[in-house]
């Protein structure tokens, strides 16, 4: 907002918010850009900063964009600051002040990051890395030559996942066999009733066994989870 970059401000709000599928991103960015351009370089008497932020939040609400509740609290805090600033100096330009203090803060941070002490620390860390790099490369190449290089992947839940997939596969296979028996017995009913009846009996027994096995396995799984 201080840099009069409405597109960046709108994109930031979209990133921190939750947009629905039908959200019109271009329209929202266009509206926010127009709003910020309209109130650029105005004093606190002309347009309070809290009002601008509140209008941006209102636009987001109308467009279906869900923004964090902290932005509403920030707008309320800006309302209070605007009232104090208006009472002290109606001609106060918050945008200009933000630009000046932002530049000062950036300069101080750059000076702190590129101070001699910090540069010496970076150089020391880099020298340690460069010193240890040949040895590490030599170890890796030796393992590659001796075919001893391996990558270990730890998956604590992989065993239970495979066991669950195996159970599902067994149940699907049993269901297919059961369905095949029922279909075949139904076709044979018109030609060989006795053989078809045997098929229905086998299918019924298989179905009962499948139901019993599922119930027993589920009960055992619940007991294991209860113990853990």
Residues 155-194: pLDDT tens digits?
666 667 777 777 777 778 777 777 777 777 777 777 777 7
Residue-wise pLDDT tens digits, 30-68: 888 888 777 766 665 566 667 777 888 888 888 888 888
Q: How confident is the model at residue 117 (pLDDT cuts 50, 70, 90)?
A: confident
- Non-local CB neighbours of 34 within 8 Å, separated by 6+ positions: 6
Cross-strand partners of 18: 66
Please give the structure tokens belonging to residue 123: 């150089």
Q: For the chain, what is the total number of helices (H) and then of strands (E)? A: 8, 0
Model pTM greater than 0.75? no
pLDDT mean over 96-112: 70
């Amino acid at each position: 907002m201080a840099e009069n970059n409405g597109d960046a401000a709108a994109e930031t709000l979209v990133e921190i918010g939750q947009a629905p599928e039908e959200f019109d991103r271009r329209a929202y960015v266009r509206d926010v850009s127009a709003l910020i351009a309209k109130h650029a370089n105005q004093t606190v008497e002309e347009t309070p900063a809290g009002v601008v932020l509140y209008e941006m939040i209102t636009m987001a609400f109308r467009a279906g964009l869900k923004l964090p509740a902290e932005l509403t609290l920030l707008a309320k805090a800006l309302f209070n600051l605007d009232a104090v600033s208006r009472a002290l100096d109606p001609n106060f330009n918050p945008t200009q002040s933000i630009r000046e203090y932002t530049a000062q803060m950036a300069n101080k941070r750059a000076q702190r990051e590129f101070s001699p002490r910090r540069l010496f620390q970076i150089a020391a860390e880099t020298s340690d890395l460069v010193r240890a790099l040949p040895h590490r490369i030599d170890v890796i190449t030796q393992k590659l030559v001796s075919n001893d290089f391996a990558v270990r992947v730890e998956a604590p839940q992989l065993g239970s996942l495979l066991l669950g997939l195996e159970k599902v596969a067994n149940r699907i296979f049993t269901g297919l066999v059961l369905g095949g028996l029922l279909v075949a017995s139904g076709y044979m009913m018109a030609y060989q009733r006795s053989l078809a009846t045997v098929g229905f009996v086998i299918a019924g027994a298989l179905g009962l066994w499948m139901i019993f096995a599922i119930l027993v396995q589920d009960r055992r799984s619940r007991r294991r989870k209860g113990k853990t």
